[in-house]
Amino acid sequence: MSKGRIWIIGAIFSIFVLVGGGWVFGIAPQLAIAASANADRANAVVSNQRNQLLLAKLKSDYQNIDALKNQLLALRQAVPSKEDIPSFVTELNTLSAANKVTLKSLTVSDAKPYTPTTQTPLAGASKTSSPQTNAKITSANFVVVPVQITITGDYGSVLSFVNDVQMGQRLILVSSLTTTGATNSKGVKGTPSTTSGSQKVDSTLGGFIYVLLN
Protein backbone atom coordinates (compact mmCIF):
# COMPACT_ATOMS: atom_id res chain seq x y z
CA MET A 1 0.00 0.00 0.00
CA SER A 2 1.38 3.33 -0.98
CA LYS A 3 2.06 6.06 1.51
CA GLY A 4 -0.47 8.31 -0.23
CA ARG A 5 -3.28 5.84 0.29
CA ILE A 6 -2.28 5.37 3.89
CA TRP A 7 -2.44 9.11 4.38
CA ILE A 8 -5.88 9.23 2.77
CA ILE A 9 -7.19 6.42 4.98
CA GLY A 10 -5.70 8.11 8.04
CA ALA A 11 -7.27 11.40 7.12
CA ILE A 12 -10.68 9.81 6.61
CA PHE A 13 -10.35 7.99 9.94
CA SER A 14 -9.38 11.25 11.63
CA ILE A 15 -12.43 12.94 10.16
CA PHE A 16 -14.69 10.20 11.54
CA VAL A 17 -13.05 10.51 14.94
CA LEU A 18 -13.49 14.26 14.93
CA VAL A 19 -17.12 14.05 13.82
CA GLY A 20 -17.89 11.32 16.36
CA GLY A 21 -16.15 13.21 19.13
CA GLY A 22 -17.92 16.39 18.17
CA TRP A 23 -21.25 14.58 18.37
CA VAL A 24 -20.52 12.97 21.71
CA PHE A 25 -18.84 15.92 23.39
CA GLY A 26 -20.47 18.85 21.60
CA ILE A 27 -23.71 18.33 19.71
CA ALA A 28 -25.36 15.61 21.86
CA PRO A 29 -25.05 17.55 25.16
CA GLN A 30 -26.41 20.67 23.45
CA LEU A 31 -29.37 18.71 22.11
CA ALA A 32 -30.03 17.29 25.59
CA ILE A 33 -29.89 20.79 27.06
CA ALA A 34 -32.28 22.04 24.37
CA ALA A 35 -34.70 19.13 25.02
CA SER A 36 -34.62 19.82 28.76
CA ALA A 37 -35.21 23.51 28.14
CA ASN A 38 -38.19 22.70 25.90
CA ALA A 39 -39.64 20.42 28.58
CA ASP A 40 -39.15 23.12 31.22
CA ARG A 41 -40.81 25.66 28.93
CA ALA A 42 -43.79 23.37 28.36
CA ASN A 43 -44.13 22.81 32.12
CA ALA A 44 -43.91 26.56 32.69
CA VAL A 45 -46.67 27.17 30.13
CA VAL A 46 -48.94 24.65 31.86
CA SER A 47 -48.10 26.14 35.27
CA ASN A 48 -48.79 29.67 34.01
CA GLN A 49 -52.14 28.61 32.58
CA ARG A 50 -53.07 27.00 35.88
CA ASN A 51 -51.98 30.10 37.81
CA GLN A 52 -53.98 32.33 35.47
CA LEU A 53 -57.11 30.27 36.12
CA LEU A 54 -56.47 30.45 39.86
CA LEU A 55 -55.87 34.19 39.66
CA ALA A 56 -59.11 34.66 37.72
CA LYS A 57 -60.97 32.64 40.39
CA LEU A 58 -59.42 34.72 43.17
CA LYS A 59 -60.37 37.95 41.37
CA SER A 60 -63.93 36.70 40.96
CA ASP A 61 -64.12 35.71 44.63
CA TYR A 62 -62.67 39.05 45.70
CA GLN A 63 -65.35 40.88 43.72
CA ASN A 64 -67.91 39.00 45.85
CA ILE A 65 -65.96 39.44 49.09
CA ASP A 66 -68.70 41.49 50.74
CA ALA A 67 -71.34 38.87 49.96
CA LEU A 68 -69.03 36.14 51.26
CA LYS A 69 -68.40 38.10 54.47
CA ASN A 70 -72.15 38.55 54.96
CA GLN A 71 -72.68 34.85 54.35
CA LEU A 72 -69.99 33.98 56.90
CA LEU A 73 -71.56 36.39 59.41
CA ALA A 74 -74.97 34.77 58.96
CA LEU A 75 -73.46 31.33 59.41
CA ARG A 76 -71.63 32.44 62.54
CA GLN A 77 -74.86 33.83 63.95
CA ALA A 78 -76.57 30.52 63.25
CA VAL A 79 -73.74 28.44 64.73
CA PRO A 80 -71.43 30.67 66.83
CA SER A 81 -68.05 29.78 68.27
CA LYS A 82 -69.42 29.88 71.84
CA GLU A 83 -72.78 29.27 73.49
CA ASP A 84 -73.66 33.00 73.55
CA ILE A 85 -76.87 32.42 75.51
CA PRO A 86 -77.55 36.18 76.09
CA SER A 87 -77.90 36.74 72.33
CA PHE A 88 -80.17 33.70 72.09
CA VAL A 89 -82.36 35.08 74.89
CA THR A 90 -82.54 38.46 73.13
CA GLU A 91 -83.72 36.74 69.95
CA LEU A 92 -86.33 34.73 71.86
CA ASN A 93 -87.63 37.90 73.53
CA THR A 94 -87.89 39.61 70.14
CA LEU A 95 -89.77 36.68 68.60
CA SER A 96 -92.10 36.29 71.58
CA ALA A 97 -93.00 39.99 71.46
CA ALA A 98 -93.59 39.80 67.69
CA ASN A 99 -95.93 36.82 68.13
CA LYS A 100 -97.61 38.19 71.28
CA VAL A 101 -96.65 35.27 73.50
CA THR A 102 -95.01 35.34 76.92
CA LEU A 103 -91.59 33.77 77.36
CA LYS A 104 -91.84 32.14 80.78
CA SER A 105 -88.51 30.33 81.03
CA LEU A 106 -85.44 29.11 79.23
CA THR A 107 -83.50 26.12 80.54
CA VAL A 108 -80.04 25.46 79.14
CA SER A 109 -78.50 22.07 79.92
CA ASP A 110 -74.84 21.17 79.89
CA ALA A 111 -73.23 21.12 76.48
CA LYS A 112 -72.07 17.81 75.09
CA PRO A 113 -69.87 16.81 72.15
CA TYR A 114 -71.61 16.08 68.90
CA THR A 115 -71.96 12.37 68.17
CA PRO A 116 -72.61 11.36 64.55
CA THR A 117 -75.65 9.12 64.30
CA THR A 118 -75.58 5.90 62.35
CA GLN A 119 -78.64 4.77 60.45
CA THR A 120 -79.66 1.16 59.92
CA PRO A 121 -80.65 0.58 56.27
CA LEU A 122 -84.29 -0.35 55.73
CA ALA A 123 -85.19 -3.77 54.42
CA GLY A 124 -84.23 -3.99 50.77
CA ALA A 125 -82.05 -0.88 50.89
CA SER A 126 -78.47 -0.93 49.73
CA LYS A 127 -76.08 -1.81 52.53
CA THR A 128 -73.51 0.59 51.11
CA SER A 129 -75.70 3.65 51.67
CA SER A 130 -74.67 5.89 54.56
CA PRO A 131 -75.81 9.25 55.98
CA GLN A 132 -74.21 12.36 54.52
CA THR A 133 -71.58 13.74 56.91
CA ASN A 134 -68.91 16.40 56.81
CA ALA A 135 -65.46 15.16 57.76
CA LYS A 136 -64.63 18.58 59.24
CA ILE A 137 -67.47 18.29 61.79
CA THR A 138 -66.26 16.16 64.68
CA SER A 139 -66.97 15.69 68.36
CA ALA A 140 -63.83 17.74 69.04
CA ASN A 141 -65.09 20.96 67.46
CA PHE A 142 -68.90 20.64 67.29
CA VAL A 143 -70.93 21.01 70.49
CA VAL A 144 -74.63 20.32 71.12
CA VAL A 145 -76.47 22.36 73.75
CA PRO A 146 -79.92 21.08 74.88
CA VAL A 147 -82.45 23.84 75.56
CA GLN A 148 -86.02 23.97 76.81
CA ILE A 149 -88.28 26.97 76.17
CA THR A 150 -91.60 27.52 77.94
CA ILE A 151 -94.12 30.07 76.62
CA THR A 152 -97.73 31.08 77.17
CA GLY A 153 -100.12 32.53 74.62
CA ASP A 154 -102.87 31.86 72.12
CA TYR A 155 -102.47 28.48 70.46
CA GLY A 156 -102.10 30.00 67.01
CA SER A 157 -99.54 32.51 68.29
CA VAL A 158 -97.56 29.72 69.96
CA LEU A 159 -97.37 27.79 66.69
CA SER A 160 -96.26 30.95 64.89
CA PHE A 161 -93.58 31.52 67.54
CA VAL A 162 -92.30 27.94 67.17
CA ASN A 163 -92.08 28.42 63.40
CA ASP A 164 -90.19 31.71 63.76
CA VAL A 165 -87.76 30.16 66.24
CA GLN A 166 -86.89 27.47 63.70
CA MET A 167 -86.42 30.12 61.01
CA GLY A 168 -84.50 32.54 63.24
CA GLN A 169 -80.87 33.59 63.23
CA ARG A 170 -79.72 30.95 65.71
CA LEU A 171 -79.89 27.42 64.35
CA ILE A 172 -82.11 25.26 66.55
CA LEU A 173 -83.36 21.74 66.06
CA VAL A 174 -86.80 21.33 67.68
CA SER A 175 -87.14 17.79 68.99
CA SER A 176 -90.33 18.08 71.06
CA LEU A 177 -93.34 20.33 71.66
CA THR A 178 -95.88 19.79 74.42
CA THR A 179 -98.96 21.97 74.91
CA THR A 180 -101.49 22.12 77.73
CA GLY A 181 -104.27 24.50 78.64
CA ALA A 182 -102.96 27.59 80.37
CA THR A 183 -103.56 27.93 84.11
CA ASN A 184 -106.20 30.57 84.91
CA SER A 185 -106.34 32.85 87.94
CA LYS A 186 -107.93 30.06 89.97
CA GLY A 187 -105.15 27.61 89.16
CA VAL A 188 -107.30 25.58 86.78
CA LYS A 189 -105.90 24.50 83.42
CA GLY A 190 -108.04 24.93 80.36
CA THR A 191 -108.18 22.73 77.27
CA PRO A 192 -106.05 23.83 74.31
CA SER A 193 -107.94 24.54 71.13
CA THR A 194 -106.53 23.41 67.79
CA THR A 195 -109.27 24.99 65.70
CA SER A 196 -109.88 28.58 66.69
CA GLY A 197 -106.29 29.15 67.80
CA SER A 198 -107.52 31.60 70.47
CA GLN A 199 -107.28 29.31 73.51
CA LYS A 200 -104.51 30.26 75.93
CA VAL A 201 -101.97 27.46 76.27
CA ASP A 202 -98.73 26.70 78.05
CA SER A 203 -96.19 25.18 75.66
CA THR A 204 -92.77 23.69 76.22
CA LEU A 205 -90.41 23.47 73.30
CA GLY A 206 -87.40 21.18 73.54
CA GLY A 207 -84.49 21.21 71.17
CA PHE A 208 -80.81 21.78 70.56
CA ILE A 209 -78.61 24.70 69.62
CA TYR A 210 -75.08 24.26 68.35
CA VAL A 211 -71.57 25.63 68.78
CA LEU A 212 -68.73 25.27 66.27
CA LEU A 213 -65.45 25.87 68.07
CA ASN A 214 -62.66 27.73 66.27
For the stretch 39-53, pLDDT in tens is 888 888 888 888 888
Is the residue at 126 inside a domain?
A: no
What is the reported pLDDT for 185?
Answer: 46
- Note the pTM of the prediction, 2 decimals: 0.59
Same domain for 152 and 206, yes or no, is yes
Is the residue at 70 inside a domain?
A: no
pLDDT above 90 for 98: yes
Is the residue at 84 inside a domain?
A: yes
Comparing CA positions, the residue from 142, 161, 163 lying closest to residue 214 is 142
Question: Looking at per-residue confidence, does 162 or 191 come out higher?
Answer: 162
Domain CATH for 110 = 3.30.70.60
Same domain for 166 and 202, yes or no, is yes
Three-state secondary structure call for residue 62: helix
- pLDDT band at residue 117 under the 50/70/90 scheme: low
Alpha helices in the chain (DSSP H): 3-22, 28-63, 65-78, 85-98, 155-166
What is the reported pLDDT for 193?
Answer: 46
Same domain for 97 and 4, yes or no, is no
pLDDT above 70 for 32: yes
CB 189 within 8 A of CB 199: no
CB 102 within 8 A of CB 152: yes
Comparing CA positions, the residue from 127, 129, 141 lying closest to residue 210 is 141
* In the chain, % of residues over pLDDT 70: 70
Is the residue at 69 inside a domain?
A: no
Is the residue at 125 inside a domain?
A: no
Is the residue at 56 inside a domain?
A: yes
What is the reported pLDDT for 43?
Answer: 85
Same domain for 24 and 99, yes or no, is no
Is the residue at 158 inside a domain?
A: yes
Looking at the structure of the chain, the number of domains it has is 2
Task: For the beta carbon of residue 101, count every other beta carbon within 10 angstroms.
Answer: 22
Is the residue at 114 inside a domain?
A: yes
What is the reported pLDDT for 41?
Answer: 83
Tell me how far apart the alpha carbons of residues 42 and 47 are, in angstroms, rounded to a whole number: 9
- Model pLDDT for residues 151-183, shown as the tens digit of each residue: 999 999 999 999 999 999 999 999 999 998 866
pLDDT above 80 for 116: no
